[in-house]
Amino acid sequence: MESVGIGLLGLGTVGGAVARRLIDEWELLGERAGATPALRCVAVRDTSRSRGFDLKNVRVVGDPQAVVADPAVAIVVEAIGGTDPATALIEAALRAGKTVVTANKAVIAASGPRLSALAAEHDAGLYFEASVGAGLPIIGLLRGSLLGDRIAALDCVINGTTNVILTQMRSAGVSYESALGDARRRGFAEADPSLDVDGWDAVHKLVILAWLAFGVHVAPDGVDRRGIRDVTGADVGALAQLGYRVRLLAHAERGSGDSVHLRVRPTAVGPGHLLHDVDDADNAVIISSDLEGTMMLRGLGAGGSSTASAVVSDVVTAVRERGTPVVNPAALTVPTMLGDADVEVAGYVRLQLSAEPEARALVLQALEDRGVAVDAAVDLTGSELIVLTGVAPRAVHDRALETLDTLTSVDQILGALDRVEA
Ligand SMILES: NC(=O)c1ccc[n+]([C@@H]2O[C@H](COP(=O)([O-])OP(=O)(O)OC[C@H]3O[C@@H](n4cnc5c(N)ncnc54)[C@H](OP(=O)(O)O)[C@@H]3O)[C@@H](O)[C@H]2O)c1
């Protein structure tokens, strides 16, 4: 059988699992691809370190450019991570007419449409199934099975680290700091967790999904983003008593014309909602479209095996499609972003009432007067009040909360979150 040379950048969590699969299952993968994907060359930082498996027919180099330049390599798999030097390496491979498979969400979020155009210009392919939800085949759905649909919205839990932390805060009744420490000990959070807990990882993934779903390219810093550092154990606990679970929800919706809205925010998810039970490291993506309606993908979404599942599938597809790689959609580079006056949200607010007579009634009246309905109000001990606020434009919500902050009936606003219901 004909073989196609594969070059691999990185042999870490992802690259190591990819290499093992390519080596162990070359025959099966060859049957599926119509030609054998043969691992020829690998780049790592430390070429002297043993990787725990047999690389005897594979050239191991310290310079990733050498993999890209290797004439025996037709497909470059990038599993180094970060934007530098990964972006330049991907560009160099595409310019040389080599197809690229990558798991790199940071690169695809920042430069996906531009790199796709470069790939098309050089008759090369660019595949990135692993960049969102690892082995969950969400990119394949958007790039293939749902091409006949108009997608209205995406609702996702696409960051395992924050979901592990928020799950632990609820189930063990602990603070954010304590749950973060636990997630680190269990290997779910990095020493520097900021990409995850500040929401950037979810932003990158959401930007990629919005590109494929809506044909727009939103810059990552154009996404309405709030991380989970400020989510308190008191809010998670109070919401749990009411049947809600807090998740870092990544939401994208299409407005009229070319307008879109993307946000990543900690959100109280009501009982019966499809994302309510997606605990721990699980990922899930809900797609709402006009023909299919609502569908959900749910699964592991991270880790070496799950990510290798997507990367190796892309390699097999790339081998099969060699010569006629699928072209990714072009994207409007400057889409219209919906403003806070157009985006509708429901909310949760926990506040400390003052000793003023009728404080509770005055607070609820103030909300109604400012155009925010009260769906429910729940009294906690110590004059704390929870208000579940009805759907209203975010701008109206924010103004109403600013007003509450000035009322003498309110000592302090203790917490506020978005809320979604089934
Ligand atoms: N881990 C996951 O669960 C997961 C899930 C989805 C997507 N991803 C994405 O997959 C990519 C890889 O992640 P990972 O977790 O596998 O990372 P990792 O474990 O840190 O592995 C990185 C690998 O790249 C090599 N490397 C780094 N810089 C290099 C350079 N300049 N030249 C040559 N080799 C270099 C490292 O070599 P040494 O081994 O010698 O240090 C290591 O083998 C990232 O884009 C990540 O976002 C990861």
Looking at the fold, whether 66 and 107 belong to one and the same domain comes out as yes
Domain shared by 78 and 204, yes or no: no
The backbone torsions φ and ψ at residue 248, rounded to the nearest 5 degrees and listed phi first, read -80, 95
CATH code at position 26: 3.40.50.720
* Residue 325 within any structural domain of the chain: no
205 noted as active-site residue:
yes
Q: Output the pTM of the full model.
A: 0.96
Residues 79-89 have pLDDT tens digits of 999 999 999 99
Distance from the CA of 44 to the center of ligand 1, in angstroms?
Answer: 9
Residue 326 lies in a domain: no
Pocket probe mutation, ligand 1, options 45, 107, 161, 208, max atoms within 8 Å of Cβ: 45
Q: 125 and 55, same structural domain? A: yes
Structure tokens, 61: 């180099």
206 three-class SS = helix
- CATH code (residue 184): 3.30.360.10
71 and 125 assigned to the same domain: yes
Q: What is the pLDDT of residues 311-332, one digit of tens each?
A: 999 999 999 999 888 888 888 7
From the CB of residue 123, how many other CB atoms can be counted at a distance below 10 Å?
A: 12
- Clarify whether residues 152 and 191 are in a common domain: yes
Angle at CA 34, nearest 5°, toward 28 and 37?
65
In which domain, by residue range, is 372 found? 344-420
pLDDT tens digits for 177-199?
A: 999 999 999 999 988 999 999 99
Residues 6+ apart with CB under 8 A from 307: 13, 14, 17, 18, 103, 130, 134, 135
pLDDT of residue 111: 96
Q: Identify the residue whose tokens are 């592990």.
A: 164
Check whether residue 372 and residue 260 sit in a common domain. Answer: no
Q: Are 224 and 99 part of one and the same domain?
A: no
What's the rounded Cα separation, in Å, for the pair 20 and 189? 25
What pLDDT does 21 receive? 97
Residues with a CB atom less than 6 Å from ligand 1: 10-15, 43-46, 64, 79-81, 85, 103-105, 130, 134, 302-303, 307
The rounded distance, in Å, linking the Cα atoms of 350 and 328 is 45
As a whole number of angstroms, the distance between CA 202 and CA 252 comes to 12
CATH number at residue 386: 3.30.70.260
The closest residue, in CA terms, to atom 6 on ligand 1 is 134
Whether 50 and 122 map to the same domain: the answer is yes
Check whether residue 176 and residue 268 sit in a common domain.
yes
* 157 and 264 share one domain: yes
Residue-wise pLDDT for 341-383, tens only, equals 899 999 999 999 999 999 999 999 999 999 999 999 999 999 9
Average pLDDT over residues 388-397: 97
Question: Does 352 map to a domain?
Answer: yes
H or E element, residue 225:
strand 224-225
Please report which confidence band the pLDDT of residue 390 belongs to, taking 50, 70 and 90 as the band edges. very high
CA atoms within 13 A on the CB side of 231: 35
Which listed residue (56, 98, 105, 205) is catalytic?
205
Structure tokens at 261: 């809205």
Q: Are 77 and 315 in contact (CB under 8 A)?
A: yes
81 and 166 housed in the same domain: no
* Test site for ligand 1: of 9, 13, 41, 203, most ligand atoms within 8 A of the Cβ: 13
CA 142 centroid distance within chain: 15
Does 185 map to a domain?
yes
Residue 328 lies in a domain: no
pLDDT digits (tens, 9 = 90+) for 198-221: 999 999 999 999 999 999 999 999
Does some domain include residue 337? Answer: no
Residue 302 to residue 304: CA distance in whole angstroms: 7
What is d(CA 340, CA 62) in angstroms, rounded to the nearest whole number? 49
Among candidate residues 245, 264, 299, the one where a domain is terminated: 299
The whole-angstrom separation of Cα 351 and Cα 46 is 54
What mean pLDDT comes out for the span 145-149?
Answer: 94
Q: Bridge-partner residues for 265, per DSSP?
A: 249
Pocket test for ligand 1, best of 18, 50, 67, 80 (most atoms within 8 A of CB): 80
Taking only Cα atoms into account, the Rg of the chain, rounded to an integer number of angstroms, comes to 24
Ligand 1 atom with least separation from CA of 14:
16
For residue 420, which of 391, 386, 382, 378 has the smallest C-alpha distance?
391
The tally of domains found in the chain comes to: 3
75 Cα–ligand 1 center, Å: 18
330: in domain: no
Written as six digits, the tokens of 235 are 């809010």
* Nearest-angstrom CA–CA distance, 336 and 180: 36
* pLDDT for res 258: 84
- Is 383 domain-assigned? yes
How remote is the CA of residue 128 from the centroid of ligand 1, in Å? 15
For the chain, the residue count is: 422
Residue 128 and residue 155 in one domain: no
The pLDDT of residue 418 is above 90: yes
227-256 confidence digits (pLDDT tens): 999 999 999 999 999 999 999 999 999 998
Query: Which of 299, 333, 359 represents a domain boundary (last residue)?
Result: 299
Residues 6+ apart with CB under 8 A from 242: 378, 386, 388
Residue of 64, 57, 44 lying closest to 5 (CA atoms): 57
Distance 42 CA to ligand 1 centre (A): 12
